[in-house]
Every structure is written in structure tokens, then in C-alpha cells.
Structure 1
Amino acid sequence: MNIVIINRWSDNFADYIKLINHSENNIFYVTNKNGSVYLQGKTGYSIHFEVDDLTSETVLEECINTCIEKFGRIDRIIAMSEYDMLIAGYLRTKYKVSGMSHQTALNFVNKIHMKKALYGSDLKYPKYTDNLNNIEDFCENASFPLVIKPKIGASSKGVRIAETSNELMMHIMSLDNKEQYECEEYISGPIFHIDGIIFEKEILFVKGSKYINTCLDYERGKPLASIIVSDNDLQTRFKNFAKKAINLLGLETGIFHLEVILNNDELVFLEVGARQGGGEIVPEIKHLYNIDLIEVFFKTQMLLPFSLNENKTSLIAGFLLIPEPKNVPCKVTFHNSMEHLKSLVYEVKPDIGTVLTGSGGYYFNSGRFLFSGQEEQVLNDIHQAIENYRIITEKPILIGK
């Protein structure tokens, strides 16, 4: 087959060399500068395009056209990152390549399209508007607090909460491009993420987890943790909710990361992605259930068969992410270890001397921890790590300054 892989990841998080036979297929990589790092020292692919902007339709069309001129057709377009799904859907639709269409990609990337897809169903979702130029009409039918967020984005980046009309107008006036944002009502209650696999509209695997703090808290400098829910009845509700939502959004086969709020014992849709969840969700599910979400995700994009050898267990797991300090850039001079905690599976900390820049997200941060065991032990150890983990930094010496 002739396969285009759009890649912006520098590491082996998705190791395409292992996932697909490069000697039996023509593999064309389209990467940005960061994504090119993955290919260093690797061979077997046919063409590599390095581009400045992976979201540019014009630039990627040129790459696709070059491949078609040389090899006659494109059979698959692979995009594993949230930020590349929309362009991949556009290209599949334009060039009639099998896989997720542009419209389905919009439903899983654009927060307005997500909620529109649920319209008329019995699934609850926040009141919303994308007309920020006429926000007064929306405010007449919605109560504060209200949430301003980018229509396209992840990890709560760019999200703001307005407690009053004055705050709301200040937030809106500060936006460079109001057309790229939406406003929705704030729904109170604990937030859960539901991670699963769907095949031909049926859920094959699904697990719901409860956040400790929120993704927005993490953006503001607080630790973010998550623990798999042990309540079987609640897990059944998660599965039923997910099946309805994913089917309405148009994903028949693939993986998903769905976020919901439990408001007065009612599940409310927050947002969804047709991809793996962030943080330590992928290694957590692989460790506990022997399911590799990245491998499944790749195979579903390739339209290849896959098998699940799920490990059945009564244990649960959880993870903890420690954000970068506020005083970035800064150099790491010390951190302690949480290895004494009974349920700790691993800890990943920045090397001493590492310069943190403030752009590390969930991955290159002040510390990542995975826990597994009995629920009480895991929950206790997460809180112990939040209380006791320490990282010390200093301002780096900038050469030439």
C-alpha cells in the first residue's frame, strides 16, 4: 500500500517502524521539524517531506500530489495526533482515501460540531454559543459562571472562566480572534474521562476514571491526577453514555477519549477526542489491562484487524502529573523520589540539569507517576505524592546574555 504518515512527535510514542512493515509498503512521512527527529537513524521509508506547518491544506496537498505523481494513488493517511486529525480528514475526503472523513474529524475536534452532533438526543451537554459578538443574548438564557474556550484545542489551553458579566466582556475583548472561541455554561460536579475502543459501532473496551483536580487546574500550576473508577454500576453508565455519544458523532471503529461531568447524578457531555487520552492513560491501560491503545489506534486508521487480549483484574490504577514551575525557564537542581509508595509502578522525573521551558505539557513536566493496586492504597499514594514530591529549580545561565 501507499501510506502517508503525518507525524509531529519526536519520540517513539507511536513507533511507526514497528507498527507497519516498511519493506512491504511505500511509506511517505510528512513531518514538521519536531516530527523529523523521530526519523533520525531510521530507514525503509520512501519519501520524507519536512514542512513548517502541518495544518496547511495547500502545503500538504502538494506533498500528497507528489506521492500520487510517483506512485499513482494513496491508500491510507495516518494521523495520530489530535492536532493533525482535521487535516487528515480533509485530505482523505479530497483524495477519496478510506478512513475518517473530514466531517467526522470535525465532530471530534471542533467543540461546536461535537455538541451539534448530539442535538436532539437524550444526552445532556452545556448550553453554548459561538457568536461572541452578540454574547448578551446568550447571557439572558444562561447563568454565570460561564466558560470561554477555543473551539479547537486540548488540555484546557486557552480556557477562561468568567464569574460575572464584566469578567466575561474583559475575556472576550482580550481575544485576538473571537471566531475561534465559544462560550458555554459552567457545569458543576466531578469530571471523569472515559477511554475506550469501538469496533463497528460496538464498545469492545471502556474504562472511566475520575480526575483529581482538573486539566484547567494543571494549566494554572496545580497537580493533575486520575484514578480508575471501581464502581461497576457507574462504569456501566459510562459505557452506555459513551456508546450513544460516539455513535452520534460518527465514529464506527477507533479509539476515543471522552470527558463527562457528573452533575446531580446525571452525566453531562463535556468534550471528546477520537484518539488516546493524554497524561499516563496509555501506559496505565497497557499496564493494567494489557491493551495497547496506540497499536489499536494505528490499526484502526490502517483499517487492519486487531485483537484484544484483555487482562481481567480487580485492581485499579491511577496517575499523577506535576506541572512545570511558574518561573520558567528554569533548571532542575533537585527532586526527591516517591519509590517508597507501595502502589507506585514508575516515576519519570526530569534529569538534574534539565531546563524546563513551560511548553512541556503533560509529558515533559516536573514529574509523572503511575500507580496500581487496591483502590484505597492507590488513592492514598497519589495524595501522598502530591503532598511530598518536591522539585527545586534555579534560573539557567543564558549564554550571550
Structure 2
Amino acid sequence: NKNKFPLTLDSLMYFFVALINNPYYIAIKKQLHRVYKCLFINPIRNGKNLASYFKNNGQEVYALIEIDKIKDLLKSKILTDEKEEFSPNIYTKYFFNVDQVLESGIAFDCIIPGCESGVEVCDYLCHKFGLDGNNYATTDYRRNKYVMQEQLKLNGLAYAKSKLVNLAAYKKITPADLTGFSFPIILKPATGTGTKDVYFCYNIEDINARLAQVEYGATNWTFSKTTHFVIQEFIQGTEYALDFVVHRNKSYIIVVSKYFKNFKVENRFLTTESVFLSPDNTEFSQLIEYGKKVLKTLGVSNGAAHLEFISNGENHCLIDIGARMRGGGDPWFYSKVYSIGLMEAIYDKYINNGRNLKNNVLLKYGIHIALNTSKSGIFRGLTSNEKKRLAQLPLLKELTLYPKLNQPYKKTTDLLTSIGVATIIGEVKKEVSKTAREIHIILKNHIGDWYENIPSDIDHCK
């Protein structure tokens, strides 16, 4: 009503002052401009990239690096220089043990695992700070590969038959220990990661020979001590990986990929190629819904989760789960092939209260190649001809070779001994497949001829 409230300069000023002093307006403004305090637990590799993403988007990032647990890894060069691995310039502050975090007096807004080694501590600290996290009482469901399969079994889901071996009490596996198993058999650390010390055993002699090589109590890649191994049945089928982001028990599918393996290297479980597929394809609907059941069964209620399945038609069996962001490869890759990237989805869960989370859609076709080598050698660099041929591949978006010039490299036996990665992105499936084959051929002198067993063919992947 213009008569009661004339639009004068004074009335507009009165309205403006009343607005900016309104408690609801103040609360909304604080929320919009709020800087979150985000603690990352052992952020290496992709976890470090995730922390950088949070920082680049205006958040305050901290890191807990359990340095006492990883001294052995640094000494053995499994991890490289501390500064290179953890990039201290990213963080507002470093902590080196859990007590320092608890005594810091900082009111963290979110706590996020930076890799598999951060999962258990993350669960514990989320519990202590009263933050969104996964139940600390059920961490073993997600970390211990024997307990994981037993939990699936107890809840009526498909499981891989498993037997736990305590290395402290180990003498020799006998035929009686393997009642109900048939060869080949998988041997793996109970709390391992990255395919480290995972073996394919054809007979009982293989099992005993591998166990005899294990150093009891050695620090593994999860920064824990190796005390138990799991003997597990080998399940054949097609291997898929699903990546979810879970917000307060509601799961969103972000990535669907199919794995191809290289059987010529020592560790036949190494993924050689990951082909990225469309989550909205009805072909994967049943697998995705089954993945959601697994998440609930294993107690994943918040955060990122990476699940690996063996599938045979309509039957699916979980092989492993990581309650953290997917490792391996360039994390920026996902935002180039999907409508929302994996890091963006994780960021939205913690910073935007999951407001923008939704099931993902494939925009372009993509293949991620792990450059595993079937031989050891000295890296002499790429020849001018190799560089020229690679430069002629327009769909090759990234090629990273890890060895330094004139430095030795090892035969690939696990995730950390791959000599490089390549990513291919394009709009035509046939051209993406063709580019993958070309990369294998061009780099034959560096990686060997194992690529002949890899189809590099996504024409059949919808």
C-alpha cells in the first residue's frame, strides 16, 4: 500500500537495515559464506587431490598423517619422499597422531578418509566429534576381508567362501585346512589394499610357499600390521566396480566401470583397463540395486564407497569394498565423462548437505589404462617416433610415466609398481577402443606384449 508505506529513500533504508539485522537473514548469509573445516585422514594420491579440490573451492583443509605408522614404508621407498606424498603446503595445519586432533580444540565440520589407510581412524574420529560417518563398531565389516564375507553370509547375500590364517600361529596349511575348497584359490592379506600380496594359487604348495615369504607384523599399505591372511575361493565372471556417494543412508551411483585384467604379469588381479559405463543403463540396474544392499549390510551410511563385484548374469558377489574415494587414475577424469565428477559429488555431500546429489549419467566414453609392465628395465625415455605417434592420438587426454629418465623400474607386481597411466575420452566408442590399442602398440618396448590379451573393446559395453 503506497499510502501506508511510501517508497522513499528513508523507507528503503529502513527496510534494508531491518533485513540485514534479521536473525534468519544472518543465518542464511553465514551458511552461504561459511568456510568449512575439513580434516583428511592420511591423504595420499587421490586423497591429496580431493583435499586440494576442497581447498580450491574455498574450504579450510587439515590433515592427519600417522607418521609413526608409515616410517617403514618411507624407508622401504614404497612411499616416496614425505613432502611429495603429502604436500604440506595444501593444509592449514598438520597432525601426526589422533591425540593431537582430539586435543586441538578445532570444531571440524567433516572428516574424510584420504585413502584406505584412513578409513578406520576416520570412523573413530567421526564418532568422537559427533559427525556424519560410518559406525565405528562395524569398521571391520569394511576393512577386514574375512569379516566382510562372513557379514555378507550372515545376511543372506552372496559371499566368497573364506578361511582366516593367523600368521603368528601358522605352520603349514594341510589338506584338512582346505576342506570345501577347490583350486585355484586366492590368497590375500586380511587388511590389505592395492592388490599388494594377492596371489593366485594352483595347489597347496603354492599357498605354503607364499605364506612362508610373508613377514609377520610388517607394515602394509593400509598403515596397519600384517598379521592375518585370507584363503578365498576363486569366483569366475565379469568384474565390475561401482562408486557410490552416500548421504545419511541414501546412496547415489556415480561411476560404473568394467575391469579388464592382465594375466601375463605376476599378479593376475591387477586391473589393466577400466572401461567407464553409463549408470542409467538398465543393463546395470540390478547390479546397482544389489550394491545398495551391500552398502547397508556392511554399514556404509556416509561418504564415498568403492565396490568391486564378480558378476555372472543376474548373480553378483562382492569381492572387495573401500569406504573411501576410488584410488588409482586421475580423479579429474570422472568429471570429463560423467555429468558430475566423483570429487564434485563427495564435495556436495559434505559441504552442500547433499543437495545436488543424484544418480549419474555418462556423457562421453572413456578408458583408463594402467601401464603395467611384464619386465623390469631402465627407463630411457620415449623415442622421438613414440612421441610423434602419441601426439597423433587426439583422444589421448593424459599420459603419465612414473620412472625418471635413466632410472630403473620393476616388473609390475601390484598397484604401486605400474609404470604409468593413460586416459582416453571420446564420443565414438570405436575410436576410443582403437586409441587404447594404439597406445599399447606404441609403448610395447616399455610395457611388453601382454596387451595382445586385452580386448580394448567397448563396443559391447552400452
* TM-score bin (small chain): 0.7 to 0.9
Change (3 A) 1:315 1:137: same
Q: Which residue of 2 aligns with 1:292?
A: 341
Matched residue type, 1:193: A
Alignment length (residue pairs): 373
Q: Distance in 2 between matches of 1:130 and 1:243?
A: 27
- 1:243: how far off? 1.0
Summarize the Cα distance change of 1:97–1:284 in structure 2 as closer, same or farther, 3 Å threshold: closer
Question: Structure 1 residue aligned with 2:148, among 106, 111, 114?
Answer: 114
Residue 397 (structure 2) aligns with:
345
Matches within 5 A, 1:1-400: 3-9=38-44, 12-15=49-52, 16-22=54-60, 28-31=62-65, 32=67, 33-34=82-83, 37-40=86-89, 45=92, 47-49=93-95, 51=96, 60-68=97-105, 71=106, 76-94=110-128, 96-131=130-165, 133=170, 136-177=175-216, 179-213=227-261, 217=265, 219=267, 224-229=272-277, 232-263=281-312, 266-280=315-329, 282-300=331-349, 304-308=353-357, 312-313=361-362, 315-323=364-372, 326-327=375-376, 330-334=378-382, 336-337=386-387, 338-341=390-393, 343-350=395-402, 353=405, 355=407, 361=415, 365-390=419-444
Please say if residues 39 and 110 of structure 2, whose CA atoms lie closer than 8 Å, have aligned partners that are also in contact. yes
Question: For the residues of structure 2 that align with 1:218 and 1:309, how far apart are their CA atoms?
Answer: 40
Q: What amino acid does structure 2 have at the position aligned with 1:169?
A: N
SS in 2 for 1:198: strand
Between the aligned partners of 1:369 and 1:352, the Cα distance in structure 2 is 20
In the superposition, the TM-score normalised over structure 1's length comes to 0.78
**Cα distance 1:34–1:325, how it changes in 2: closer, same or farther (>3 A)?**
farther
Whether the aligned pair in 2 keeps the contact of 1:221 and 1:326 (CA below 8 Å) is: no
For residues 223 and 112 of structure 1, the distance between their equivalents in structure 2, rounded to whole angstroms, comes to 22
- Return the TM-score normalized by structure 2: 0.69
Following superposition, the deviation at residue 147 of structure 1 comes to 0.8
**Higher strand proportion, which one?**
1
- What is the aligned-residue RMSD (CA, Å)? 3.6
Q: Deviations over 1:18-67 (max 9, x none)?
A: 24533xxxx54323434775233x57x2x433x4xxxxxxxx23312430
How much does 1:74 deviate? 5.2
> Aligned partners of 1:48 and 1:302: how far apart in 2?
21
- The one-letter amino acid paired with 2:382 is F
1:348/1:369 contact within 8 Å kept = no
Which whole-Å CA distance do the structure 1 matches of 2:266 and 2:290 have between them?
Answer: 26
The secondary structure found in structure 2 opposite 1:153 is: coil
Distance 1:233 1:274 in 2: 25
Give how far 1:258 is off. 1.0
For structure 1, which segment, 301-310 or 191-200, has the greater mean C-alpha deviation from structure 2 after superposition? 301-310
SS of the aligned residue for 1:334 comes to coil
2:179 partner SS: helix
Q: CA deviation at 1:289?
A: 1.3
**Contact 2:133–2:301 (CA under 8 A) maintained in structure 1:** no
Q: Percent identity?
A: 18
Counterpart residue type for residue 374 of structure 1: V
Worse-superposed segment, 380-389 or 309-318: 309-318
Q: Which runs of 5+ in 2 are unaligned?
A: 1-35, 68-81, 217-225, 448-462
Secondary structure, counterpart of 1:320 in structure 2:
strand
